[in-house]
Chain A
Amino acid sequence: MTVAAALVATSALSLASDPANAEMNWKAADGQTINLMLISHPFVESLKPLLPEFTAKTGIKVTYEELAEQSGFEKLLADLSSKTGTYDVFMTSPLNNWQYAAAGWLEPLDGLIANTDKTAADYDVNDFIPSILSAGRWDLTPLKGIGEGSLWTLPINFESYQLAYRPSLLKKLGLQVPKTYADLLAMADKLAIDGPNGKMHGIITRFDRYWDLPYLTFGTMLQSYGVEMLDKDGKLQICSDKSIAATQDFVTLIKKASPEGAGAFTWYEAMQGFASGQYVFSLNEANLFAPTYEDPKQSAIAGDVGYAPTPLGPDGKRAAAAWIWSLSMNSASSHKDAAWLFMQWVTSKETMIKTHLAGNMNPVRKSAWDAPEVAKLMESWGETPGQYIQAAKTEAEVATIRFPPHPELTRMLDRWAEAIQKSYFGQGDVKTNLCNAQADIQKMLDE
């Protein structure tokens, strides 16, 4: 297309839509190619078929690499740290971005969003769920300033944590869905039952020895007990009374109601174990597993699974961690305009809804939660109509990132996870392990 033709086309378009936005031109980077780093995820499956639409709309060709999470982040780190700019846009999370942003590898996005030449008038950044969008903001001050400063990333989905259960088994056992962790602890002994394929267990949960343990699933329990990593004065709370109580309850729960080997369960064991029908509860699991459970081709429990909000802590408090997948732009990219067009296209209302319908859970835009076709998809999930939506919404109200932003956070959380694991495996008591971890983490903070 010639420049003149492009001008005619865009002015015609802008006349038809919004004269105030006469300058925004989807064809501004016509003919360029951008390269993405994508992590294998239902979002990516939902995105791939839509890419030709983007190319047709903008004339920008999209190439991408799709890798498993670990190898993807390794390769991304190699590229970002060498500033070669191989990837213009990549999938990431606020947590990873504390490292990337501090190193200057990310392009701040506020200027682009505010620029009416580069951003469509109907983009509507205020339509994002505020807490999820602001998790991508950080002013680069270690340990504080999350939600402040520059926006480094745009969310594409989020996961929070919930309780999944088997209605038929609870009925058989004569038990109710637990409202509090104390309720769950009280029934832990009674959950061992004989199934059609041998002994079944009460609870499956993710329990591996990495940062995700105090951050995600058990993190949700910790936070419900009122545990924060740092208190208001910046002092570590890892071996506080609340943290010790939560860890003791968790270890007891898993020892009573989980099979041997539970101390090494990753998402893979957790999700497939529950889907194969060997467990009564899946504790604080990622709520975006539901599409798999509900699919009879992938799960043995389709039609017999219920969802409930995570149990309440001792003070009747509910809290939940959140993981947010998002898109960020490489500051070493040589196609920043094209990259921005791509990012705003993916996170636009229209494209987001299309990805949700193809399995990208959970929506990060309010308009997507309200979209009738998205609501209809989730309506049937659960023991009763709308149960999943209700549970997910309850969690979304409290889900947030409660950890202090720090480039080395994952290293600290790894140490914390080690202390929890040691306690489970009977190497020392909970209090000593947690206090030792706290001392080590304090050293990392002082470095």
Chain B
Amino acid sequence: MFLRTLAQKLALALCYLAFAGFVLFPLVWIFMMSIKNFGDIIAYPPRFLFTPTLENYVEVLLGNDAQRAGGQVPDLLKFLMNSVIISGGAVLISALLGIPAAYALARRRDKTSDKLRFTFLSFRFAPELAVILPLYVIYTRIGLYDSYVGMILVHQLITLPLMILILASFFRDMPIEIEEAARIDGARIWTMLTRIVVPIARPGIASAMMIAFIFSWNNMIFGLVLAGGSTRPVTMGILQAMTFDQIKWGMMAASAMVSALPGMIAAVLFQKQITRGLTMGAVK
């Protein structure tokens, strides 16, 4: 009996290990690539044993020799900063607009609100390419091209529908009795939203913001067309490792590791909120 459970446990552990390996292998591979020099990266067959180097990180984080000599901020850090401003700004605005909107949609259940929900949802699967060229012309004409305001606005196409959809279903799961009690105590709708609903829903809001942030962070097409030299996000920045004749794999891997960090850090910091947000109804 004991043996059987031990065998079972072992098998389970092996399964977990295999799964973890499956999930983590690409990440490990990119990390290994980021600490290899070019010769080791292009070596065939692939090398697992090599002398690690920090050169790629130095170039990515501190800039190349010329940039260091000129005291310039390395490109990747600029791109990272741009991404933080754009995605952060987009999520904050989406939260301000999306929380009341989601609340209204959740509590008002009729045909109009269903249509509205569908409209918001449609923003998520509308092809960005269809709007991008007209937007480019409009943006250049009215001066929003290559500006943070313009980028934050266009990222609403990504973040706002996500916020509304996630939060609406979240708010709907909250028992309405709490709000009814509050209404009896004389609370108006705004008080109810700010004093009762939002505090209770904080984990849900945090996870919705987190997801919206990651989607916005990973977007590339808006960055390609609507951002210029001064607001280019990190997704475009990583592509700079692709030159006309070769891909600077080491730099690209190091850039990818560095640019994945903010998302990872945020996920770890908000982990508690997110797991609560994803697993809980309002007051289980």
Is A48 an interface position by the 8 A CB rule? yes
**Inter-subunit contact A82/B244 (CB<8 Å):** no
Once the chains are docked, how many angstroms separate the CA of A272 from the CA of B247? Answer: 9
Min CB–CB distance A199 → chain B (angstroms): 10
Pairwise interchain contact A297-B136, C-beta atoms closer than 8 A: no
Docked-complex contact A84 and B140, CB < 8 angstroms: yes
Give the interface segment out of A58-66, A176-184, A235-243, A390-398. A58-66
Q: Any chain A CB within 8 A of the CB of B127?
A: no
Q: Known A-B contacts: A49-B66, A276-B39, A299-B39. Give 6 more (CB < 8 A).
A: A65-B232, A68-B243, A84-B137, A273-B42, A289-B245, A298-B39
- Minimal beta-carbon separation of A279 from chain B (angstroms): 10
Contact A71 B239, beta carbon cutoff 8 Å: yes
CA distance A292 to B230 in the complex (A): 31
Q: Is the CB of A298 within 8 A of B38?
A: yes
**Shortest distance between the CB of B231 and any CB in chain A (Å):** 11
From B13-21, B183-191, B221-229, B253-261, the one touching the partner chain is: B221-229
- Judged by a CB distance under 8 angstroms, whether A251 is at the interface is no
Q: Mark A23-50, 1 if CB is under 8 A from B, else 0.
A: 0000000000001000111100000110
Interface flag for A257 (CB, 8 Å): no
Partner of A40, one of B42, B66, B244: B244
A275 within 8 A of B: yes
Q: Are A272 and B140 in contact (CB under 8 A)?
A: no
B43 within 8 A of A: yes
Are B242 and A68 in contact, CB atoms less than 8 angstroms apart? yes
Tally chain A residues at the interface, Cβ within 8 Å. 41
- The answer on a CB contact under 8 Å between B245 and A267 is yes
- With A and B bound together, what is the CA distance between A271 and B38 in angstroms? 12
Contact: A86 with B145, CB < 8 Å?
yes
A197 vs B229: C-alpha distance when bound (angstroms): 43
Residues of B within 8 A of A (CB): 37-39, 42-45, 66, 70, 133, 136-137, 140-141, 145, 224-225, 228-230, 232, 236, 239-240, 242-247
Once bound together, how far apart are the Cα atoms of A84 and B225, in whole Å? Answer: 13
- B136: A residues at CB distance < 8 A: 78-79, 82, 84
Q: List residues of chain A with CB within 8 A of the CB of B137.
A: 82, 84
Which residues of B sit under 8 angstroms from A297, Cβ to Cβ?
Answer: 37-39
The contact of A276 among B37, B44, B66, B145, by CB within 8 Å, is B44
Give the residue name and chain of the B residue nearest to A38 (CB).
Answer: B229
CB A293 to nearest CB in B, in angstroms, measures 11
The reply to whether the CB of A67 lies closer than 8 angstroms to some CB of chain B is yes
CB-defined contacts of A275 to chain B, threshold 8 Å? 42
Contact B246 A267 (CB under 8 A): yes
Q: Is the CB of A292 within 8 A of B225?
A: no
**A65 & B243 in contact (Cβ 8 Å cutoff):** no
- Shortest Cβ distance from B139 into A: residue: A84
